[in-house]
Amino acid sequence: MNDTFLKACRGEKTDYTPVWIMRQAGRYLPEYLKVREKVDFLTLCKTPHLAAEVTIQPLDILRVDAAILFSDILIPLEPMGFKLQFSETKGPIIHNPVSTADDIKRLRNINPEEDLPFVIETIRILLKNISVPLIGFAGAPFTVATYLIEGGSSKNFLKTKRMLYQSTEDFLELMELITDNTIKYLLSQIKAGVHAIQLFDTWAGILTPYDFSKYSLPYIKRIISAIDHSVPIIYFAFNSSSLLDLIKNLSAEVIGIDWRIEISNAIKRLGKTACVQGNLDPCILFGDEELIKERVLRILKGAKKAKGHIFNLGHGILPETPVNKAIFMVETVHNLSMS
């Protein structure tokens, strides 16, 4: 197995900088769209041979150094009792969101092996068929809570914040429940053989640093200590430059950053506590090759002092991205970091 990615996660020396792309299996790839013509997104996630097929697509096409399980952070919510739909136009919809203490009491605890056997089976198929490490993942509790409370995506997260500030005890009970289930879900992925875990905290940045440290961080810490370094953990919080001083104490092996901060500055603030992942603006892939090369080099140079660096975009690749530019970016990271 090509273990460059895992070495970088552990802060060990590598021959070149490993690279993968958040949302690397997805709608920018014609091969993915072809599979999606036959099945809807939820069916794709629940059909192991197809989920494995689309996980592998970017490995062959882009030559990235890690695979990420094809699934979604909302998949474990169905067995908890939520009616989940992925709309082509509106994204995820939860038809029975949480708004009262009674709603929370009705939620079930999951048994991942029984309730989400397709995830375990997808991992098994992948381990037999790939030669790079496999990343498993889950949403961080606060990000998952926003979907459960809002019923889908949101602009100002008013319902979430209203519950947090008006019914704090209920909100924290929900966070406990999500955390318990996330731990079980991640441990089942690790048991099935994933080599690393990423926690996606897409909406961490909507909280004040004070509220983040009080109402979100303790749950992330609980997840990280339950995993107990059995595999490296990447904690990625979007829009989190103002939270780095809090995040650095998490004891995650890798901290993911978006593009809103110079990587050299993030490394100064994180110190040698963790490796970094990131941080190219996904829109740079709409520029010409010269621009991509310049910006890749800038990040590689900026990351020189890091304990370890995994190259990635600062958020998911956009569906409109030209595939040849994504291929060029991966090649460029490899070539420039080798010399």
Contact region for ligand 1CP (CB under 6 A) — 69-77, 174-182, 185-193, 290-298?
69-77
Question: Hey, which residues between 155 and 194 contact ligand 1CP (CB under 6 A)?
Answer: none
- Tell me, yes or no, if 28 is annotated catalytic: no
Contact residue for ligand 1CP among 56, 68, 217, 330 (CB under 6 A): 68
- Residues ≥6 apart with Cβ < 8 Å to 306: 263, 267, 275, 276
* SS3 at position 337: helix
- Tell me, yes or no, if 222 is annotated catalytic: no
Assess 311 for contact with ligand 1CP (CB under 6 A).
Answer: no
Please, where are the H alpha helices in 96-242?
101-105, 112-115, 117-129, 141-150, 158-166, 168-192, 209-211, 217-227
Cα–Cα dist 151/145, whole Å: 10
Instruction: Indicate the residue among 85 and 213 with the shorter CB distance to ligand 1CP.
Output: 85
Question: Hey, which residues between 36 and 55 contact ligand 1CP (CB under 6 A)?
Answer: 36, 41
Instruction: Indicate the residue among 20 and 171 with the shorter CB distance to ligand 1CP.
Output: 20
- Tell me, yes or no, if 219 is annotated catalytic: no
Indicate the angle between helix axes 117-129 and 168-192, nearest 10 degrees: 40
Contact region for ligand 1CP (CB under 6 A) — 18-26, 187-195, 279-287, 302-310?
18-26
Position 112: which residue type? P
- Catalytic residue among 3, 10, 16, 23, which? 23
Contact residue for ligand 1CP among 3, 72, 78, 173 (CB under 6 A): 72
Assess 116 for contact with ligand 1CP (CB under 6 A).
Answer: no
Instruction: Indicate the residue among 205 and 209 with the shorter CB distance to ligand 1CP.
Output: 205
- Catalytic residue among 10, 16, 72, 211, which? 72
Position 276: which residue type? V
Contact residue for ligand 1CP among 4, 14, 17, 24 (CB under 6 A): 24
Cα–Cα dist 148/111, whole Å: 19
Assess 137 for contact with ligand 1CP (CB under 6 A).
Answer: yes
Cα–Cα dist 156/154, whole Å: 6
Indicate the angle between helix axes 48-62 and 323-338, nearest 10 degrees: 60
CA angle, residues 150, 153, 157, in degrees to nearest 5: 55
* Residue 120 · residue 130 · CB < 8 Å: no
- Catalytic residue among 10, 27, 124, 222, which? 27
Bond before 111 cis per omega within 30 degrees: no
Contact region for ligand 1CP (CB under 6 A) — 16-24, 169-177, 262-270, 281-289?
16-24
Rounded to the nearest whole angstrom, what is the least distance from the CB of residue 75 to ligand 1CP in the complex? 9
Indicate the angle between helix axes 168-192 and 158-166, nearest 10 degrees: 110
Assess 282 for contact with ligand 1CP (CB under 6 A).
Answer: no
Contact region for ligand 1CP (CB under 6 A) — 85-93, 156-164, 176-184, 212-220?
85-93
SS (H, E, C) 162-174: HHHHHCHHHHHHH
Bond before 335 cis per omega within 30 degrees: no
Instruction: Indicate the residue among 73 and 194 with the shorter CB distance to ligand 1CP.
Output: 73
- Residues ≥6 apart with Cβ < 8 Å to 299: 263, 278, 279, 280, 311
Residue with tokens 């949101």: 154
Assess 200 for contact with ligand 1CP (CB under 6 A).
Answer: yes
Contact region for ligand 1CP (CB under 6 A) — 64-72, 102-110, 162-170, 253-261?
64-72
Instruction: Indicate the residue among 70 and 215 with the shorter CB distance to ligand 1CP.
Output: 70
Residues that bind ligand 1CP (CB under 6 A): 22-27, 36, 41, 68, 70, 72-74, 86, 91-92, 137, 153, 200, 202, 238, 316
Q: Which residues are catalytic?
A: 23, 27, 36, 72, 147
